[in-house]
């Protein structure tokens, strides 16, 4: 049977089909027009061969698709496109077809007369074989690569496809060769060089594949005269183990055989004159984004490859919206490498996608069991990487083992730090590893960044452990992180946020890796503590509060009791400061937060470190303001200002005092300290200490702090401008905590109070989304409370009241925004009153007034008295009592210099007196207050006042 098939193949290769001016050689997969080869794709040529084999007969669409796309499911539009291409090549006219006629809805028929004849054999030639391996499955996501590589041959005679093992270089090369085959009169010759260990045999193997007679001397001598007159494509696959020999042979053939073209694949370029290098990228994957659907994910080749291989492996796997994020995570873990994705997809039946995701920490053990027909090195991921690794010189192996310790990308200085004890030029070795596609390089920024692909890294880390080098290299990595992140403390505000994160943000993966190792057996607690302290700014700049809290707690638990050196005490002090702030941001203020700051203050006093005392006092003040302990916070703000040694410290001290005095309702003093804060010239002083010591957004807070004061004192336009400027600055900073702070404490309240409800809605939505994405629970609760208040302001109390009830209950638990608790009680009372529940509303607002007085939280006391009067007026609880509430509100507002609260109270008073038929006196009061405003005439309160004064309301 085998001999019969061989004879048939030989016979087919000797047949030529002639029609019109064309000569079709089916066995050679070649079409000529006269003496010139016709450029046509392999699929169009397959269709032409199928049609000419059954000339005059109907060949159905299904038969043609099966012939051109074996073992693949394609749309009928693909067939129509290839037939159209074929007709253009043949010069066919659809109006009056000469060669191919369409049979509507059924298929196509070859209608031109043709003849078959044997090709006359020439004594001097043994036709170059077409030994290109057949691909049983279509390549996915490589259309652009195939097109680019094919296009390179219009300008270059040697094109090398470069990339790491398993990325799909051979697949692309075979596909390109298939497309180009008809352009080569003498066919092509494919050589798999991977099994070749003796590079001197390369010319002999090529001569053998070309069926040249054996010679006793150098085979190159017989190759050159044979190929000199040939138009042939030479495909050299997997050149990396015989790179030098391949380069020499390629250079010789390109020089001596002018019609020969070469397509090569390798981990690195051949570095031959005239070579065009195409670096094959990983398969494209969806970006990291929420809400990814199955339909969206399937637009990306990596996902399509996984799904196609998973469904073709015999499993009943179904890809849906729930699977989309999981499969995307798997493909991302596998670096978009085609072989790794195929191997993982082949395990779906055994483990399911969730099981695969969990097992990916052990890439090499999981990713086995490739196709039996694949090359041996491609049947398991371990075999593929082992084949690449063992081919490296010892120096490159050693450097690669060191670099594999990095969990993410790294710079050249990091590589030098981890390999400084190796007697070799690390930069040179790194360049070699990049050239061999074992280290990926990204040179798009000012400084190149490098990364060992996760699949390769798993293998090399195993080698590192086998050689007993792992712990020593981990200690080097820990020391490097401590040194590098110490510089990050100094550059938090010296660099732009983007530049700082670009420089130091990538260290976070290495921090996690080191901490996991340091605490695994409890043997390296000291290293773990040092790295934790060094990483605190990175966690805060990335808004990873939960991770910071967990790491700091673990570091503190690992500290043994006893005497400590100053350096150890300083580390403990920094851990307590981070603990206090992390607790506040993650779970809200509770006694643990001020206790942590108090402990940090105690240690800083023992060390006599004034700067550290200032930071601890700031933290203690921050916690006390958050818990509503305003008198205590005022004392610590004054202590901070007394310690101030620079303009920068005085800037922060005045901000602290302004904030506390605002909460206590002393607006004149708060404004005075706000003005002093803004008057401090800190431009000549570095601002780096601000963010390092106080962790977030002091410049943002400084811009926004006066906003609510401005509104209360009758400057609503300036208040909005301050809010907009500060929120935009926080957005630009990219710091989620600063932006949450700006939105939650100032933007939302100012916009709601001014009556800019659409803008308030946008700010609240942004706050909720930001808090959810960054797991900042207290801010999410706060956002829901403002959402409820907004609904009540819009007259939607049925929805707002239950939402605000739940929000207030949560807010009491997190204790982060107690400043607004009494204000939210006022909103809730207003909503209940609008629903006719006046008794409960009255009880709530009176509770809010009592709480304000007891805690000295008097910033909205005037508004609460006004709401008390409004509820009495609506519920018929006594006009005289209501009037007394309005008058008390007006008096408090005047004493506090709160012009906006005063305006509101007088508007309420006008409504009351108008109901009694005697509004004249109240209108005079309203006119006097209205005239004191110089801006904000489009705000809700000013429009209401204008309507009352005009008698239109």
Decide: helix, strand or coil at residue 18: strand
Distance CA 239, CA 436 (A): 11
**Structure-derived torsion over alpha carbons of residues 684, 687, 688, 690, reported in degrees to the nearest 10:** 140
With a CB cutoff of 8 Å and minimum separation 6, the contacts of 625 are 633, 659, 660, 663, 819
Considering the chain, what percentage of its residues have pLDDT values greater than 90?
31
- Give the pair of three-digit tokens for residue 703: 């811009």
- CB neighbourhood size of 296 (10 A): 15
User: Which two structure tokens, joined as six digits, stand for 65?
Assistant: 């698709």
Report pLDDT for 129: 54
Q: Is the pLDDT of residue 11 over 60?
A: no
Provide the CA 642 distance to its chain's centre, in angstroms: 45
pLDDT-wise least confident of 211-220, 402-411, 620-629, 745-754? 211-220
Buried b (16+ CB within 10 A) or exposed e, 454-483: bbbbbbbbbbbeeeeebeebbebbbbbbbe
With 0-12 CB in 10 A as exposed, 13-18 as middle and 19+ as buried, what is 362? exposed
Task: Read off the pLDDT of each residue in 405-421 and give the average, rounded to a whole number.
Answer: 86
For residue range 295-330, list pLDDT tens digits in order: 888 889 989 988 888 887 666 788 888 888 889 888
As given in the structure block, the two tokens for residue 753 are: 């109070």
- Rounded average pLDDT over 929-949: 93
The mean pLDDT of 122-148, rounded to a whole number, is 69
The dihedrals phi and psi of 215, each to the nearest 5 degrees, come to -125, 155
Cα dihedral 61, 64, 68, 69 sign = positive
Tokens matching residue 197: 């260990």
The DSSP element (H or E) to which 869 belongs, if any, is helix 861-875
pLDDT exceeds 50 at position 461: yes
Of 408-422, 621-635, 695-709, 846-860, give the lowest mean pLDDT range.
695-709
CA proximity to 236, closest of 211, 258, 205: 205
Is the confidence at residue 686, as pLDDT, over 60? Answer: no
pLDDT tier for residue 688 given thresholds of 50, 70 and 90: very low
Q: Is the pLDDT of residue 208 over 90?
A: no
Angstrom CA distances, 248 to 254, 367, 517, 585, stand at 10, 36, 48, 64
Cα separation of the two ends of the chain: 103
Q: Detail the DSSP E strand segments found in 342-476.
A: 440-442, 449-451
* Residue bearing tokens 């084999």: 53
- Tell me what pLDDT residue 122 has: 40
Greatest alpha-carbon span in the chain: 125
Most confident option among 71-75, 432-436, 830-834: 830-834
- Long-range contacts (CB closer than 8 Å, 24 or more residues apart) made by 469-477: 469/401, 473/401, 473/402, 473/405, 473/418, 474/405, 474/514, 474/517, 475/524, 475/527, 476/405, 476/417, 476/418, 477/405, 477/406, 477/418, 477/510, 477/513, 477/514
How does residue 198 score in pLDDT terms, banded at 50, 70 and 90? confident
Q: What is the pLDDT of residues 173-186, one digit of tens each?
A: 999 998 888 888 88
**Mean pLDDT for all residues in the chain:** 82
Characterise 160 by phi-psi region: left (phi > 0), alpha (psi -120 to 50), beta (else): beta
To the question of pTM greater than 0.85 for the whole model, the response is no
In contact, 75 and 92? CB cutoff 8 Å: no
CB 224: neighbour CB atoms within 10 A? 15
Please give the pLDDT value at position 831.
Answer: 95
- Look at residue 361 and tell me whether its pLDDT is greater than 70: no
Distance CA 676, CA 765 (A): 34
Task: Work out the average pLDDT over 27-34.
Answer: 76
CA dist 890 and 895 (Å) reads 9
Look at residue 742 in the predicted model and tell me its pLDDT.
84
Q: How far apart are CA 51 and CA 59, in angstroms?
A: 7
Query: What is the rounded CA–CA span in Å between residue 592 and residue 685?
Result: 34
565: DSSP letter? -
Cα–Cα distance measured from residue 821 to residue 782, given in angstroms and rounded to the nearest whole number: 10
**622 compared with 446, residue with greater pLDDT:** 622
Tell me the C-alpha distance between 273 and 824, whole Å.
75
Q: pLDDT tens for residues 698-716? A: 555 555 667 888 999 999 9
Given pLDDT bands bounded at 50, 70 and 90, which one contains residue 617? very high
The pLDDT, as a whole number, for residue 39 is: 63
Q: What is the pLDDT of residue 843?
A: 94
pLDDT at 127 over 60: no
């Amino acid at each position: 049977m085998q001999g019969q098939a061989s004879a048939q193949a030989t016979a087919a290769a000797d047949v030529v089909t002639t029609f019109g001016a064309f000569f079709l050689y089916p066995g050679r997969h070649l079409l000529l027009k006269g003496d010139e080869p016709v450029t046509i794709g392999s699929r169009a040529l397959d269709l032409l061969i199928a049609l000419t084999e059954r000339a005059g007969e109907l060949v159905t669409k299904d038969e043609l698709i099966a012939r051109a796309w074996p073992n693949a499911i394609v749309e009928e539009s693909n067939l129509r496109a290839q037939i159209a291409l074929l007709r253009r090549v043949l010069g066919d006219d659809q109006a009056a077809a000469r060669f191919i006629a369409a049979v509507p809805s059924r298929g196509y028929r070859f209608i031109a007369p043709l003849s078959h004849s044997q090709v006359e054999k020439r004594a001097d030639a043994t036709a170059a074989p077409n030994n290109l391996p057949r691909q049983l499955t279509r390549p996915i996501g490589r259309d652009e690569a195939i097109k680019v590589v094919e296009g390179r041959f219009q300008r270059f005679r040697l094109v090398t496809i470069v990339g790491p093992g398993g990325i799909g270089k051979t697949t692309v090369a075979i596909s390109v060769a298939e497309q180009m085959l008809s352009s080569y009169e003498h066919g092509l010759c494919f050589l798999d060089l991977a099994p070749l260990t003796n590079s001197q045999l390369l010319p002999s193997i090529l001569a053998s594949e070309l069926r040249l007679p054996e010679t006793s001397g150098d085979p190159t001598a017989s190759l050159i005269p044979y190929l000199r007159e040939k138009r042939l494509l030479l495909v050299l696959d997997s050149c990396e183990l015989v790179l030098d020999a391949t380069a020499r042979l390629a250079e010789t053939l390109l020089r001596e055989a002018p019609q020969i073209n070469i397509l090569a694949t390798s981990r690195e370029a051949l570095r031959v004159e005239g070579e065009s290098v195409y670096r094959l990228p990983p398969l494209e994957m969806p970006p990291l984004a929420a809400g990814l659907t199955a339909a969206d994910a399937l637009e990306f080749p990596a996902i399509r490859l996984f799904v196609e291989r998973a469904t073709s492996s015999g499993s009943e796997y179904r890809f849906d919206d729930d699977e989309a994020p999981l499969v995307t995570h798997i493909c991302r873990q596998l670096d978009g490498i085609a072989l790794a994705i195929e191997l993982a997809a082949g395990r779906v039946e055994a483990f399911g996608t969730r099981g695969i995701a969990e097992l990916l920490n052990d890439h090499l053990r999981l990713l086995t069991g490739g196709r039996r027909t694949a090359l041996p090195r491609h049947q398991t991921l371990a075999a593929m990487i082992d084949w690449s690794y063992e081919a490296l010189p010892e120096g490159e192996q050693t450097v690669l083992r060191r670099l594999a310790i990095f969990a993410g990308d790294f710079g050249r200085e990091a590589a030098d730090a981890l390999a400084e004890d190796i007697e070799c030029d690390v930069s040179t070795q790194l360049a070699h590893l990049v050239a061999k596609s074992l280290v990926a390089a990204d040179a798009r920024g000012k400084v190149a960044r490098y990364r060992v692909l996760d699949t390769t890294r798993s293998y090399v880390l195993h080698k590192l452990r086998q050689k007993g080098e792992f712990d020593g290299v981990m200690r080097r990595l820990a020391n490097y992180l401590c040194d590098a992140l110490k510089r990050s403390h100094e550059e938090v505000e010296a660099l732009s946020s983007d530049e700082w994160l670009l420089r130091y943000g990538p260290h976070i993966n290495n921090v996690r890796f080191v901490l996991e190792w340091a605490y695994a057996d409890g043997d390296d607690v000291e290293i773990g503590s040092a790295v934790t302290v060094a990483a605190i700014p990175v966690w805060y700049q990335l808004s990873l509060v939960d991770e910071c809290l967990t790491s700091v707690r673990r570091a503190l638990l690992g500290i043994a009791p006893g005497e400590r050196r100053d350096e150890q005490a300083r580390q403990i002090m920094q851990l307590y400061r981070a603990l206090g702030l992390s607790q506040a941001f993650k779970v809200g203020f509770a006694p643990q937060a001020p206790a942590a700051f108090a402990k940090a203050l105690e240690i800083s006093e023992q060390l006599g470190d004034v700067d550290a005392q200032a930071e601890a006092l700031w933290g203690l003040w921050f916690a006390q303001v958050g818990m509503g302990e305003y008198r205590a916070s005022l004392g610590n703000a004054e202590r901070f200002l007394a310690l101030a040694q620079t303009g920068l410290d005085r800037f922060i001290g005045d901000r602290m005092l302004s904030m506390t005095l605002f909460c206590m309702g002393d607006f004149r003093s708060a404004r005075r300290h706000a003005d002093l804060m803004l008057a401090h010239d800190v431009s000549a002083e570095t601002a780096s200490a601000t963010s390092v010591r106080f962790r977030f957004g002091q410049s943002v807070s400084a811009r926004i702090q006066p906003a609510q004061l401005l509104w209360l004192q009758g400057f609503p336009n300036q208040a909005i401008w301050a809010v907009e400027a500060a929120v935009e600055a926080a957005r630009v900073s990219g710091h989620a905590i600063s932006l949450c702070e700006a939105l939650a404490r100032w933007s939302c309240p100012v916009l709601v109070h001014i009556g800019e409800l659409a803008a308030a809605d946008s700010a609240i939505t942004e706050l909720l989304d930001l808090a959810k994405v960054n797991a900042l629970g207290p801010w999410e609760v706060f956002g829901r409370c403002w959402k409820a208040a907004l609904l009540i302001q819009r007259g939607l109390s049925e929805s707002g009241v239950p939402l605000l009830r739940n929000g207030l209950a949560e807010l009491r638990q997190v204790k982060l925004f107690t400043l607004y608790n009494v204000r939210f009680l006022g909103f809730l009372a207003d909503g209940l009153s609008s629903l006719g529940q006046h008794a409960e509303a009255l009880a709530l607002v009176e509770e809010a007034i009592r709480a304000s007085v007891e805690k000295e939280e008097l910033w909205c006391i005037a508004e609460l008295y006004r709401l008390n009067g409004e509820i009495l007026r609506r519920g018929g609880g006594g006009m005289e009592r209501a009037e007394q509430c309005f008058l008390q509100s007006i008096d408090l507002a005047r004493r506090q210099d709160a012009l906006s609260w005063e305006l509101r109270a007088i508007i309420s008073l006008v409504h009351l007196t108008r109901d009694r038929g005697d509004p004249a006196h109240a209108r005079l009061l309203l006119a006097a207050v209205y005239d004191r405003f110089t801006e904000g005439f489009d705000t809700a309160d000013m429009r209401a006042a204008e309507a009352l004064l005009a008698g239109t309301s």
